[in-house]
Amino acid sequence: MIMSKSEVLIVEDENSVARFLYQALEEAGYSPTACGDGRIALDLALARDFDLVLLDLMLPGMEGVEVCRALRRAGRLVPVMMVTARDQIEDKIKGLDAGADDYIVKPFNLQELLARVRALLRRADSTESTATSPEVQVGALVLNKARLEARLNEVPISLSATECNLLDYLMVRAGETVTRESLLEHVWQYDFNGDHNVLHVYISYLRGKLEGPGQPKWIHTVRGVGYRLQAPA
């Protein structure tokens, strides 16, 4: 049961989809606002404190990826879920690189979408509640969940909420092999039905931030099992 109504911005230019999402979120206990133009949506998201943004990729005014990038450049850490018909891994990576926290493909199952909404809102609440928690450190890598930021050799690295939760789970278990199933269950908190693609994308994104060209590896793949984070020797 939702004790207070979370504010959700729906950015979707297809009227039938926007109406469907609006009604579904309202019936689920949220307070939705709908917008069909990317530039107007950006202005709304900068002017108001939304708890979540559902963002289409193809939009008039400004594409969804650019809306997401602009939000992150402005320092807005509101969770963003891309809701789009584009289903290629390259499109997902493009959305994640722009700062999105999740990515769901049309046509989607409504219950799955609502489960993802709940998971993103839980993670956002968890991040706020750990504002006074100590930092997590493994070697030269330090994670501050409250600021959604890591530091590697004192160089700051900005993280999305999902990246932060994934890195935190790996760092707390540094040196251990963590199964894919465990990561999916803990970080996303809902069933992916055995689809590990989204996990692979986020691992790749973290590696891109931690392991530049010629730099030592932090995240190791354990074939057939999962991943292990370990400070380079």
151-174 residue pLDDT tens: 999 999 988 878 888 999 999 999
Pick the CATH number of 7-128 from 3.90.1150.10, 3.40.50.2300, 3.60.20.10, 3.40.50.720: 3.40.50.2300
Domain range summary for the chain, segments of one domain joined by +: 7-128, 130-229
Q: How far is CA 123 from the centre of its chain?
A: 9
The pTM is what? 0.70
- Under CATH, which number does the domain 130-229 receive? 1.10.10.10
**Count of residues for the chain?**
233
Phi/psi for 176 (5° steps) reads -95, 150
Sheet containing 149-152, strands listed edge to edge, beginning at the edge strand earlier in sequence: 136-138, 141-144, 149-152, 155-158
pLDDT tens for 69-109 read 899 888 788 899 999 888 777 777 778 778 888 888 888 99
Closest CA to 77 of 40, 18, 131, 22: 131
Closest CA to 12 of 87, 110, 92, 106: 106
Amino acid at 202: Y
